[in-house]
Structure formats: structure tokens, C-alpha cells
């Protein structure tokens, strides 16, 4: 399995429920199109106790793919920026604080 991790902050005033709806629409389309296996949206919590280095972003999404080829095909599809993915991607990204996003891809070892 390959996972694309997205870390980001929501824009001030954006409700988590509004972002969740946009994320679910975006991911459902990718899943129905055969690119995405699943996804998880998480919010970082800061536990009490000693501090340790951690990302500054509060929101995380893990996009799950079968393999590296599937992840790459999905990236290329989104990068084409054609309908309907253009509208779905914009609806989601318009709720994210500019400059806050960080992405990385991991594979099972």
C-alpha cells in the first residue's frame, strides 16, 4: 500500500464540516474512478507532557493507493485540471490556508 499524506491548516472561519464535505466529494470521485482505495481525515492533537518535534499543521489527510503506479496515475489525473476533478479539487483547496500544505508519499516496507 502507498499513502499520500497531506498536512495543512484550514483557512480562518472555515468549519471542519464544510471541509469534510468537500474532501468526501473529492475522494469519492477518485475512488469511483478507480484511483483511490480509501482516505482518512485526522486532526492533530497535542498531548500533555514533554514536547517533541511535530508538524505545525493541524489537519492531516491520508490518501490510500494500491501501489506507486496508482498514486502516480491519480496525481496525473488531478494535474490535468479538467472537469469534474477541477471543480472538486478547487472546492476542497479553497478551504485550505495558502502556504500551509505539505505532502509526502510513503510505501509499505
Q: How far does CA 7 lie from the centroid of its chain?
A: 7
Domains of the chain: 2-45+56-107 (3.30.70.100)
As a whole number of angstroms, the distance between CA 92 and CA 80 comes to: 17
* Span 42-71, pLDDT tens digits: 988 888 888 888 899 999 999 999 999 999
Mean pLDDT computed over 24-35: 98
Cell numbers describing residue 71: 498514486
User: What's this model's pTM, rounded to 2 decimal places?
Assistant: 0.91
Amino acid at each position: 500500500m502507498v499513502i499520500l499524506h497531506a498536512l495543512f491548516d484550514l483557512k480562518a472561519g472555515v468549519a471542519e464540516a464544510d471541509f469534510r464535505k468537500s474532501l468526501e466529494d473529492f475522494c469519492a470521485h477518485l475512488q469511483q474512478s478507480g484511483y483511490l482505495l480509501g482516505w482518512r481525515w485526522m486532526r492533530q492533537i497535542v498531548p500533555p507532557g514533554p514536547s517533541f518535534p511535530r508538524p505545525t499543521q493541524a489537519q492531516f489527510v491520508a490518501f490510500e493507493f494500491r501501489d506507486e503506479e496508482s498514486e502516480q496515475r491519480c496525481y496525473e489525473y488531478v494535474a490535468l485540471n479538467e472537469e469534474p476533478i477541477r471543480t472538486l479539487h478547487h472546492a476542497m483547496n479553497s478551504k485550505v490556508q495558502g502556504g500551509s500544505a505539505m505532502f509526502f508519499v510513503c510505501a509499505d516496507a
